[in-house]
Structure 1
Amino acid sequence: MAKRGGGGGNAGLFGKIAGWFRKPVKTKLQKPPPPNKKPVAPPPHKDPNPVPPPKTGDNYPNERPLLDKYKDETDPNKEPFPGQSVQRLDDQRREEHRMYVDQDGNMRYAKDGTLFDTSTATDIHSDGGRAIFTMDRHGNIYASNYQGAGDFHHSTLANGQPISAAGEMTVKNGKITHVNNNSGHYMPQIQQSANIIDELNSHGINPPVYMHPGHLLNGPDNLIANLR
């Protein structure tokens, strides 16, 4: 009887299997991770009503000086307010009273952007509800809900300097509803009234502006055009 070989048939099979394990395994190359990208910051928030800086330039050079009778009003030993001293505001304090008109035609405080309102205003020429205001030659408007005889006047807001406009205004939640030129310290004339009309018109608003004691300058009859 012939002798079987030492498992020759199986040896071939095992050899193939062993050879298969010895073959290098091809692996799929993975792409390197993308470099870390810096997060993109969102665009900065744009305030729809940014507070503008004070205006410069001689936009309204036709000014009115303080009347001579009030030149010594800061001296309590002199007329016109003996025993009292009318305030003067330096640049820092005046800035607290500076106003601006936003893109929607609302008057706001430059100090914090809040809407101006004269509902609680007290003045010496009316029953209240009107603020005093001045405008300088640059077109900066300063206003105050307080006016006190011998204490705080148009000359206070203007620091005793000439004005390009002065008077009173009524403002309801930012909306200007009335402007006049009532100021005993400066006695503004037609040109100063024209100045405030032009400044407000430049912001797209046209509230009624009166020449004291009650002549409507920019109404249907357009008196301002005839008086300029």
Structure 2
Amino acid sequence: MISILVIEDEKRVADLLKIGLEENGYQVMVAYDGEMGLRFSHTNSFQLIISDIILPKLNGFEVCQQIRKTDEQIPILMLTALGTADDKLEGFDVGADDYMVKPFDFRELLARVRVLLKRRAISSVDVVKEMKYADLTINLERQEVTRNNIPIKLSPKEYSLLVYLVENVEKVVSRVEIAEKVWNTHFDTGTNFIDVYINYLRKKMDKNFDVKLIHTKPGVGFILTSRQVYK
């Protein structure tokens, strides 16, 4: 069940949010001041936080700022009677994801909650920690590369080039594409630096293995594939 933290010192509003959200299938915990809300956020697992700005002990801006020091991903929706542009900008500056002004329509709040939760779910799915192809594994968090569980030490630029090739596995990529995507520059036909780095990679990635992964398609570019159809 999706768990939501509501930080709201007005009991009437807090009760309205708790009842309405629970009727829509969410689990809700309520904190009645900023310090309590911050403490709950550290000691419980929530998927979303709804916070007022004008709160006892710690205001909503301070709570949001503290939460963002330890959790950059959790969606935070701010509810407040302060509706000026400056107030909204300050909320976004400290890490709020959305902003609603009291009084609010609960149906709109519910729609925004669903959007924020969906956005978080998509973001979580999109985070790739590892890339694999054939016997090649790239750990993106530690930037470590292995083939058949044998560590391969690469320079930062060799690593970036390999990641780009794996991202485009089984596809021929041109020198122009590599120059733009890996080096962030336009390819100069008078230089051979990309070929030099491809050769560096080949020596480290393929030399001691029977199956070669990095191949050249003459006049076109390079391809990472385990199919032995290129040289």
TM-score range, shorter chain: under 0.3
Structure ranking higher on relative contact order (CA contacts 8 Å, 6+ apart): 1
Structure number with higher strand proportion: 2
Structure number with higher helix proportion: 2
How does the TM-score come out when normalised to structure 1? 0.20
Larger Rg: 1
How does the TM-score come out when normalised to structure 2? 0.20
